Structure 1
């Protein structure tokens, strides 16, 4: 494991809480040992495609094969033990897993620098194979690890284009500032695949409605800083990001 001073230096460099760095570090080591699943979401962008993208609290996956709840939980517990042995991170034995509408949620707890108080948490959101459609071929990408110890592992991950399409779809399914931020950032970096987006929407019966989305502007503004300020050194204005995304959506939908 890296020394305590490196955690503190990274926190200063990126102007984020030291707990954000601890979680980012633990996520990397865990990803190197988890069973084969398709990695996606904002953390997938950071860990596979864009170095120094925003930090993230959760790990999002889609299962590539059917697996029972018991078997999945056991595989994750084994991965935690393997990670503990390889990294020296103190993962707790108390793993909380539950079935949810689209798959499973597994909460993993650990300690690195803090020996007292509540442990830090990594939340795994795992979607069942039948509840999501994966259109582009899954990519094998080197795990981006910004720390001085080395992790030479590859991870199975969505294409960036498919993650972008899912993020745009998410705007019409829920109100989470991280989705808005990701769409705001990605629409300036990569080309939007409208056909891919339409297929993703069709699979989950999502009807994009920009007028309805526009009514939720205040909700994004109220939760913007609380949700994202610990993940970024500089946070754009929620109002500006929202307005820019709405204009983008009007052009492509």
Structure 2
């Protein structure tokens, strides 16, 4: 059960509503169940994986992105049957609406608790994804009632390069914000550049024109304001990321 003091503390630290903290708490228990039962069968990636490894103070994400290392349909069936049972003690009555086996892999399924707290879970096939370097890593679980969790995630350099590819592909504020945090961490470096050249869309380092347009401030705050206490504008984040990548260009 979520400790009320922890709920208040996390809400204050991130400047978010308690509903967002409850979702993050739900995610911690989902990750614990995945770690205990499915750690060898999946890759945990994306913004939530980043927030549970290298950027635990960045933002409270809302979903769980997974890649099946084997059969996607087989893993979906097992997750559909197992996760609600694994969550029964802390979240009795929670379940899939819809389940992973009921959606295409390009669409998320949803785990829903009885109070309406919802976590989106997307399970992708490994087919078509570049072999980004990965590592087994203990996750930041944040809440004292959540069991420890260890999953396979991208390496730090992979996170940087993969997030840059995502920004170029969809220009989402969350990708730019994560990249800015990674820039502040000092993670946009030669190793990340090598991976971007290897697996990115151009076989070269990112070009400044790929960071030409920042999200407008209303869009920026609407997309991220519910997940963190923003201390940077979209334009400032874009300039920081662009400048850091430019500094790596010979």
For the superposition of Structure 1 and Structure 2, which TM-score range results when normalised by the shorter chain? Answer: 0.7 to 0.9
Give the paired residue count.
239
Q: Look up the SS of the partner of 1:157 in the other structure.
A: strand
**Range with bigger deviation, 219-228 or 83-92:** 83-92
- Distance in 1 of aligned mates of 2:196 and 2:123: 21
Deviation track 1:91-117 (CA, whole Å, cap 9, x = no partner) reads 2342344214xx552222224xxx4xx
1:65 paired residue number: 70
TM, length-normalised to structure 2? 0.83
**Range with bigger deviation, 7-16 or 31-40:** 7-16
TM, length-normalised to structure 1? 0.82
1:227 paired residue number: 223
Report if the CA contact (8 A) 2:132-2:154 is conserved: no
Any unmatched runs of 5+ in structure 1? Answer: none
Q: Decide which of 107, 114, 117 is 1:120's aligned counterpart.
A: 117
Q: Look up the SS of the partner of 1:130 in the other structure.
A: coil
1:78 paired residue number: 81
Report if the CA contact (8 A) 2:84-2:95 is conserved: no
Q: How does 1:160-171 map to 2 (within 5 A)?
A: 160-171=156-167
Deviation track 1:129-188 (CA, whole Å, cap 9, x = no partner) reads 11211231x322222122122412311211121011100111210121010011111023
Deviation track 1:35-94 (CA, whole Å, cap 9, x = no partner) reads 3311111211221233323111121222212332xx333222233223322423542342
2:45 paired residue number: 40
- Where in structure 1 do 4 or more consecutive aligned residues deviate above 4 Å? 204-209
Q: How does 1:190-205 map to 2 (within 5 A)?
A: 190-192=187-189, 193-202=192-201
Q: Structure 2 vs 1, CA of residues 133 and 88 (structure 1 numbering), >3 Å: closer, same or farther?
A: same
Report if the CA contact (8 A) 2:208-2:242 is conserved: yes
| Distance apart, 1:29 and its partner CA | 0.7
| Distance apart, 1:210 and its partner CA | 3.5
TM-align CA RMSD: 2.6
2:208 paired residue number: 210
- Distance in 2 of aligned mates of 1:89 and 1:157: 29
